[in-house]
């Protein structure tokens, strides 16, 4: 069942299932405009009402395509989130900056900017690309060591965010231009650090909370202390959890390792025992944690949209979860 879950006292309720739109920006696959827009249009027809995107995805391509798909849907009918932290500047040189991830992306270079001015400009740019009056949730995208390494630059970016970037987000929220904000990243460490500097409403945790990485006690304890809700993204671990062949899919934006594949097979045997698709278990697992209000699923086809919607509503018995707990997944 797709439930509506409150994001603390923001007045915003988010569906427990969110369409992750990185695939609409040609992540790992080249899609035509028609194919990409069909993904979101299929989701809308099926009842999806939460959409997450970013300027980074296809260097603006995903935001533009998603905006076109959402044009005929009343603005009050859905929750929309995008991200700040990267500005896009016209690319004068030939070739692709990010071609190994986003195929045939738009011709813009990404410029990291976590300052007040950078966040305000990023918000305005996204509003125009998406063709919308407002954005519900803004995530500060890819701040921290996972994205920037253990460098002076990483510390500078975080200082910029704390000195003025969070002020921009607070202003946007106070003025009603957004309803909630937080960090969207592939690590808990930067989120834990930022909790001491800003009154965040929600964080988008990618890759780090799924059947392959189930234990996040310290993280959830601090989220509870500061009443921060969580959206879990990349719950299929970049596809590793739903592939039957080690040579298919990705993990951590790279190839699936033998160790990871062995673990997936172990989980798959338990799911098979109860006639539950491993994808259904992967999708529903994060929602068993009370602070997780939504699961963002990245898709690259309309068929995946339909499958994920089915998995989100699959009936899973307590016996399956008990068996997973026996192998350390809880």
CATH topology of domain 4-326: TIM Barrel (3.20.20)
Coil, strand or helix: which one is 184?
strand
User: Within a 13 Å sphere around the CA of 23, how many CA atoms are in the beta-carbon half?
Assistant: 22
Residue 197: phi and psi, rounded to 5, are -115, -20
pTM of the model: 0.95
- Residue 95 is predicted with a pLDDT of 57
What's the pLDDT score for residue 239? Answer: 83
- For 100-129, letters b (16+ CB in 10 Å) and e give ebbbebbebebebbbbbebbbbbbebbbeb
Q: How many angstroms from the chain centroid is the CA of residue 295? A: 8
Are 57 and 25 within 8 A, CB to CB?
yes
Calpha distance 61→96 (Å, rounded): 14
Our CA angle for 295, 308, 102, nearest 5°, is 75
HSE-up of residue 94 (Cα within 13 Å, Cβ side): 0
pLDDT at 71: 96
pLDDT of residue 188: 98
Q: What is the pLDDT along the chain (330 residues), one digit of tens a residue?
A: 799 999 999 999 999 999 999 999 999 889 999 999 999 999 999 999 999 999 999 999 999 999 999 999 999 999 999 999 999 999 887 655 555 689 999 999 999 999 999 999 999 999 999 999 999 999 999 999 999 999 999 999 999 999 999 999 999 999 999 999 999 999 999 999 999 999 999 999 999 999 999 999 999 999 999 999 999 999 998 888 988 777 777 787 778 889 999 999 999 999 999 999 999 999 999 999 999 999 999 999 999 999 999 999 999 999 999 999 999 999
Distance CA 113, CA 127 (A): 17
The rounded Cα 250 to chain-centroid distance in angstroms is 16
Q: Where are the alpha helices (DSSP H) in 16-150?
A: 33-46, 61-69, 116-130, 145-148
Q: Dump strand ranges (E) for 29-78.
A: 50-52
Q: Are strands 17-20 and 13-15 parallel, antiparallel or unpaired?
A: unpaired
Residues with a catalytic annotation lie at: 52, 57, 83
Helix (H, G, I), strand (E, B) or coil at 258: helix
């Amino acid at each position: 069942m797709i439930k509506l879950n409150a994001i603390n006292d923001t007045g915003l309720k988010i569906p427990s299932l969110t369409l992750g739109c990185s695939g609409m920006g040609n992540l790992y696959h080249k899609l035509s405009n028609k194919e990409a827009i069909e993904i979101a249009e299929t989701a809308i027809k099926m009842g999806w009402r939460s959409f997450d995107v970013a300027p980074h995805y296809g260097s603006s391509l995903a935001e533009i395509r998603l905006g076109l798909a959402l044009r005929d849907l009343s603005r009050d009918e859905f929750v929309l989130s995008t991200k700040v932290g990267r500005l896009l500047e016209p690319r004068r040189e030939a070739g692709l900056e990010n071609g190994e991830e986003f195929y045939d992306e738009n011709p813009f270079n990404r410029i990291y900017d976590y300052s007040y001015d950078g966040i305000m400009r990023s918000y305005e740019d996204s509003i125009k690309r998406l063709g919308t009056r407002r954005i519900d949730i803004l995530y500060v995208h890819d701040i921290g060591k996972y994205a920037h390494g253990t460098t002076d630059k990483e510390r500078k970016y975080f200082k910029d965010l704390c000195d003025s970037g969070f002020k921009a987000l607070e202003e946007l929220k106070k003025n009603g231009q957004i309803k909630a904000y937080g960090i969207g990243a592939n690590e808990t460490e930067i989120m834990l650090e930022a909790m001491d500097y800003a009154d965040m409403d929600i964080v988008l945790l990618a890759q780090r909370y799924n059947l392959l990485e189930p234990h996040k006690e310290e993280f959830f304890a601090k989220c509870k202390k500061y009443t921060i809700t969580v959206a879990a993204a990349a719950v299929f671990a970049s596809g590793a959890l739903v592939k039957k062949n080690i040579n298919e899919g990705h993990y951590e934006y790279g190839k699936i390792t033998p160790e990871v594949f062995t673990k997936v097979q172990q989980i798959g045997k338990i799911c098979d025992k109860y006639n539950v698709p491993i994808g259904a278990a992967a999708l529903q697992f994060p929602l068993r944690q009370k602070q997780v209000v939504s699961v963002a699923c990245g898709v690259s086809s309309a068929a995946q949209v339909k499958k994920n919607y089915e998995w989100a509503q699959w009936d899973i018995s307590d016996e399956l979860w008990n068996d997973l707990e026996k192998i350390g997944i809880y």
